Amino acid sequence: MPFSQACENNKGPILVELKRIFANSQQVLEIGSGTGQHSVHFAENLPHVTWQASDQNSYLTHLNARIELLGIPNLLPAFGLDVTLNWPTQMISPDLDSIFTANTLHIMSKSMVEAFFTGIGQSLIKTSQVAIYGPFNYQGEFSSESNASFDEWLKQNNPESGIRDIEWITALAEQQGLILQADIEMPANNRLLHFSRN
């Protein structure tokens, strides 16, 4: 079963923040659940929330194997979601009020990031919370040498990927009525961005 050491390293610090951000949430859609390590950890430790995992179809077999193995009652089976296609509205609960994603926006192309925000804007009910974890730039500058090296590595693998400017991300969120509430410093030169729509 696929395993990410980075997920193991960051799931604790992220959970500390999600307990606050999702304190009043009912249903969270995780976009880009990957190995499922975040999904099972957060669902287990946020029992008041129904956690819905999702990812591209190619990841679903292993993702759902982990979810099924652990059998956490508030963790739903993952469904396929490609942010650039029509989102599967039949799979998204009308009670959805929160979104979480980790380490996805720098892997996506710019057009995929734009589609991501359009999709969440259309899927969320009026009152909502969005938490986005990963590295970000500020005014076009890398926040560390390691992030600059990481960005170079990303572009070698996919020229359309790369660490995104927080100003651009904030502007895309605002187009969907989502306002930045907190930009939280996290380990390993990452951030957790908390947006909300009141």
Condensed to tens digits (0 to 9), the pLDDT of residues 94-150 reads 889 999 999 999 999 999 999 999 999 999 988 899 999 999 999 999 999 999 999
Condensed to tens digits (0 to 9), the pLDDT of residues 52-92 reads 999 999 999 999 999 999 899 999 999 999 999 999 988 88
Q: Where are the alpha helices (DSSP H) in the chain?
A: 5-21, 37-45, 60-70, 110-123, 145-157, 166-175
Q: 100 forms bridges with which residues in the sheet?
A: 30, 131
Residue 104: burial class (beta carbons within 10 Å; 0-12, 13-18, 19+) = buried
What percentage of residues in the chain have a pLDDT greater than 90? 89
Angle between helices 110-123 and 166-175 (to 10 degrees): 30
pLDDT grade, residue 5 (50/70/90)? Answer: confident
pLDDT on residue 4: 77
Instruction: Give the pTM.
Output: 0.96
Q: How far apart are CA 71 and CA 35, in angstroms?
A: 15
pLDDT grade, residue 51 (50/70/90)? Answer: very high
Cα 159-120-48 angle, rounded to 5 deg: 120
Average model confidence (pLDDT) for the chain? 95
pLDDT on residue 156: 96
